[in-house]
Amino acid sequence: MKNISLLSGLAVIALGFTSCKDEKQEKAQKTIDSYVSYVDSIKNVKADDLKADWKDVEAEYDRRVTDAQVALADIKDNKADIEKINTSKVKYEEFRNEMVKVLAPPAPSPKQQLRNALFGEGKIGDDMSFAWVNAKNIHSVYQQFVHTVENNKDSYSREDWDEIKLMYEALDSRKNTVEKEGLTSSDNRKIAGLKLKFAPMYTLNRMGAKSKETAEAKK
């Protein structure tokens, strides 16, 4: 009777261990399946619709993939599950690459690129506001403008020269205001020298660009 009782006790303990192992493995399987489902659910959403919440999506993904990889240790024969996780990783990376393109700011137009070169990144937008130009920095603004034009004069198209002229006239208009706000005589003379340099450079090179475009059009 004692032996029977002992065997019965051992059987109960063994059953308990088996039950715990089964529960652990079942929980691990659910964790992995949850990760796979999460990736599939993301891929079914349009990239544009996830823009605002993308940081949260990435944080949730990192948590789930980490949990799934840890869960592999609790599954005895886990080759199939490893394959499932790796497949989902590839799916996620492909979708993530799409999101990078969606989240990237659009490339500036050729006109905006020219304005950025002449005045600095984002200084002049569609509103053409020169309010940031003042008596202290206007000389350096003219310097950057004229030197940039001089360095790139051979590459500008006729349309580029028209845009340059438009920006130059807007800057001159701002100078009229700045002169009343404390522009020094020294800076005024330096700006006058830059303007003398710009005027013939603009006239000659715009004519050259126009002649070149006319000649190419006749070919």
pLDDT of residue 191: 96
Report CA-CA distances (Å) from 212 to 155, 157, 205.
Answer: 11, 9, 10
Q: Measuring CA to CA, which residue among 164, 160, 168, 172 is closest to residue 213?
A: 160
Asked if residue 155 is part of any domain, the answer here is: yes
Query: Is the pTM above the cut of 0.85?
Result: no
Tell me the Cα Rg of the chain: 35
Q: How far apart are CA 215 and CA 119, in angstroms?
A: 32
pLDDT of residue 148: 97
Residues 211, 139, single domain; the answer is yes
Give the residue from 49, 71, 103 where a domain finishes: 103
Q: How many CB atoms lie within 10 A of CB 85?
A: 19
Give the residue from 69, 103, 137 where a domain finishes: 103
Give the residue from 43, 71, 103 where a domain finishes: 103
Task: Give me the domain span that covers residue 174.
Answer: 110-218
pLDDT, one tens digit for every residue, the chain (219 residues): 444 444 344 344 344 444 556 788 888 888 889 989 988 988 888 877 888 888 888 999 999 999 999 988 888 888 888 899 899 999 999 988 888 888 877 788 999 999 999 999 999 998 999 999 999 999 999 999 999 999 999 999 999 999 999 999 999 999 999 998 889 999 999 999 999 999 999 999 998 877 666 666 566
- Domains contained in the chain, number: 2
